[in-house]
Chain A
Amino acid sequence: MYPAYMEESIRKVEATREKRLKETFPRLSDEEKTPLLPKYHPDYVAGTMRQLLLGPNKGDYTPNEVAELLEGNSRINPDKIDLDKIDYDVDVLVIGGGGAGASAVLLARENGANVLLITKLRLGDANTVGAQAGTQAADRPSDSPFIHYLDTIGGGHFTNIPELVEALVKDAPSVINWLETLGVNWDKRPDGTMHELSGGGASRLRLHSARDYTGLEEMRVLRDEIKNRNINYLEYSPIIELVMDDKGQIAGAILVNLETNELSLVRAKSVIMATGGIGRLHIQSFPTTNHYGATADGLVLAYRVGAKLIFMDTMQYHPTGAAFPTQILGQLVTEKVRTLGAQLVNVDGEQFIMPLEPRDVVAAAIIRECQERHQGIETTTGQVGLWLDSPMIDVIRGEGTITRELPAMVRQFGRFNIDITKEPMLVYPTLHYQNGGIKINTDGATTVPGLFAAGECEGGVHGRNRLIGNSTLDLFVFGRRTGRAAAQYAKEAKPSSLTLEHVRQWQRELEQMGIAESRPISPLLLPDYARRMPDYLPEYSRQVLTAGQVKLA
């Protein structure tokens, strides 16, 4: 239920609907776009990024929150770890139980490797389950991998690594097919034609979905398959450090049992990092769409063994996070809402941006509309937002479309007595995705021998901005590629004796630079939202009720 003063603005939104039905807001030209981002996109806010002081990306810029963790202290004392006591001995170790890790472990096993998957929470507690809108693949006759390539590289502002984009778009149709063979249900017409939708920055209808539960459908099928194939996996056992051998190759990992704090050692001939994103670092105090364990762990650990990162100075703020009600602040309002026809409008019901521009452009336009033009709507807790006019969907596509295509959104808002088939949703940008990550080649190999990376923790595929539906695609394309490549690597690997010398060296460097003490311990593993200090109380309740999130401990 919206408070009365917000209802007043909603009446204005309703009043402009008929006019907007006929109006197409023009796409921005290159000249209009170029100044918009530096002025309004959060990536450009002065003082929010800094240069890294050590490691393979020394001198590169990254958000302060990420920099702190990348330069962090190890959670272990290498001198106290007995590297002769091996708890698990495998060919391929997969780290992370999201879509990328699940695909990788299935393919590594298919390619003959003895595998183990470890993950921080439950198998499938990951950003993958949250994906609502869908997965891109150019499989319609009027579309082609060529056009998909062009859309992807344009959306990434021409910074994407060409070979990775090529792999992405060429593997896409077979990924859709692979998932279907595993039993994923794609939205289809009775004649078998895929029901495909458009998306921000896409020039063709290319988005494959499963209602608005696409990632859930993909993830629950992969999880079920991992169980059917009796693949070993450990839950609540995050990695806290990578182990090398004396020839400089990856040789395994140290895990911690999150509940008992017991450590265990895995020896592996190759390791696939599939730890996902960074949303729970709440960069610039933004709320996030990400799952509880999205804390950049994989980046931190890969960096510590010398893996090069790429595009770490660009984060994706999803244009439409929920701004009301507070209980779901920052949670995702899927782009599929705009794809289906909902427009973004201000307090007076006027459009201010073509709703299907690339994400960074839409996010910047929303921020401009609120902060510079003061055309937003302020909620009772001081959060500002703009209307996403969902009822337009049924007006355009016919009664019942919203209920059929967006059951998750209808349900989520319905819980708070907001009927999105009748009333618009209040939205504001939210921290969503890490565009960059660990640098890989087309096999998912990083710059460190034996270390592979797949999914959101890897970078280069999307350049400086990812398009809708290209991430779930990325995680299957590179999950599968790394699975194969890491199994092959393991066959040929010549392992040597284990060492944690890299950790000692890292700590020595931090000490010599005099920054060891001021840096946190990393990886973070989980954000700390628990209120324990009495004097934290008013501050906490204010933040939860306004920003919806708390500072990290």
Chain B
Amino acid sequence: MAETARMVNIYIMGKHYQVPEGLTILMALEYCGYRMIRGCGCRAGFCGACATIYNFKNDSQLRYDLACQKTVEPDMYLVQVPFFPAAKALYNLEEIASTGEQVLSLYPELVECFGCNNCTKTCPQDLEVMWFISDALRGDIREVVNKSFDCVMCGLCAARCPQGIVPYNIAILCRRLYGRYLAPPSKHLEDRIAEIEAGKFDAEIEELKKMEESKLRRLYAEREIEPAY
């Protein structure tokens, strides 16, 4: 059965509140009476809307996280970071090259990175942000993809970069270049599209569409099932 919750002290933008132990920061804000408009999207750690900065009453070092995934701790000082616009290059993916030089020409500020590692320290997904920025600088697009893949684009890294670099926008450029130009093409996909366009499946699907339900049920029940692994 439900236990009676212990209360913890927290501070929202400096103001003191008590909330039950075990809430996420997002739930704690709501518990204190805030109705979220900004700073709340998927509520599940996927959209990056809820980037948050906090420190503690007796420990002023800033920490970073996603409000919907982080549990409140005693004496937390909380601030919500509204999503702010950051430098984004505009490009036509069809007209650009899939090279490191291209990335650098769209984001020349890359060379300004002096390796302070603040970006990596802020990342709530624990990505190696500074390393993928250095991969981008070296033109290793594939490594940027690998290291940045789990990026939810919450914006915290850009907020903390002293050089005005926007790692998450550079990363999405690299990922799009990789997906579009560098990933090996899928022959079986192209073949299937051609077959569909040629009408190869039209007659059999037409038959299914008109089939009596009892027959359809039988066909379904008897269909062969490929092993899952």
Contact = CB atoms under 8 A, between A and B. Distances in A.
A182 B187 CA distance: 18
Interface in B177-201: 177-180, 183-193, 196, 201
A129 interface: yes
Contact of A139 (B45, B192, B201, B210): B192
A224 B42 contact: no
Given A144-B201, A204-B226, A408-B46, A544 B27 contact: yes
Interface string B1-28: 1110100000000000000101110010
Contacts of A258: 37
B149 A185 contact: yes
A452 to B, nearest CB: 23
A310 to B, nearest CB: 18
A2 B185 CA distance: 45
Interface residues of A, number: 103
A411 interface: yes
B30 A194 contact: no
Contact of B185 (A176, A192, A227): A192
- Most chain-A Cβ atoms within 10 A of its Cβ — which of B3, B46, B90, B180? B46
Interface string B32-64: 111111101111111101000000000000000
Interface stretch (B113-121, B130-138, B214-222): B214-222
A546 B2 contact: yes
Contacts of B150: 211, 213, 407-408, 411
A43 interface: no
A198 interface: yes
A109 interface: no
The B contact surface, by secondary structure, is loop
B47 to A, nearest CB: 5
A130 B88 CA distance: 24
A332 B153 CA distance: 20
B31 A139 contact: no
For chain B, which range describes its interface: under 10, 10 to 19, 20 to 34, or 35 or more residues? 35 or more
Nearest to A142: B226
Given A193-B188, A220-B153, A530 B30 contact: yes
A497 interface: no
A291 interface: yes
Given A185-B179, A213-B150, A125 B41 contact: yes
B184 A191 contact: yes
B71 interface: yes
B102 interface: no
Interface string B142-171: 000100011011000000000000000000
A194 B5 contact: no
A24 to B, nearest CB: 9
A447 interface: no
Given A125-B49, A180-B179, A166 B205 contact: yes
A186 B180 contact: no
Interface in A276-327: 289, 291-292, 326-327
A328 interface: yes
B2 A381 contact: yes
Contacts of B126: 411
Contacts of A544: 20, 23, 27, 31
Nearest to A171: B196
B183 A186 contact: yes
A411 B37 CA distance: 26
A153 to B, nearest CB: 7
Contacts of A526: 35-37
A181 B3 contact: no
A236 interface: yes
A332 to B, nearest CB: 7
Interface in A162-212: 162-163, 166, 169-170, 173-174, 176-177, 180-186, 188, 190-194, 197-198, 203-205, 210-211
Contact of B183 (A185, A327, A381, A407): A185
Interface string A104-121: 000000000000000001
Interface in A501-553: 526, 528-532, 540-542, 544-546
A122 interface: yes
A552 to B, nearest CB: 12
B79 interface: no
Contacts of A210: 149
Contacts of B188: 139-141, 193-194
Interface in A138-156: 138-142, 144-147, 149-151, 153-154
A138 B47 CA distance: 29
Interface of A: 29-30, 121-122, 124-126, 129-130, 137-142, 144-147, 149-151, 153-154, 158, 162-163, 166, 169-170, 173-174, 176-177, 180-186, 188, 190-194, 197-198, 203-205, 210-211, 213, 215-217, 220-221, 224-225, 227-228, 230, 236, 258-259, 289, 291-292, 326-328, 331-332, 339-341, 356, 380-382, 396-397, 407-408, 411-412, 415-416, 526, 528-532, 540-542, 544-546
Instruction: Return the 4 tightest CB-CB contacts between A and B, nearest first.
Output: A183-B176, A192-B184, A125-B41, A154-B220
Given A121-B37, A121-B41, 12 more contacts: A29-B221, A139-B189, A173-B189, A183-B93, A183-B179, A185-B149, A188-B184, A228-B92, A327-B27, A412-B69, A529-B35, A544-B27
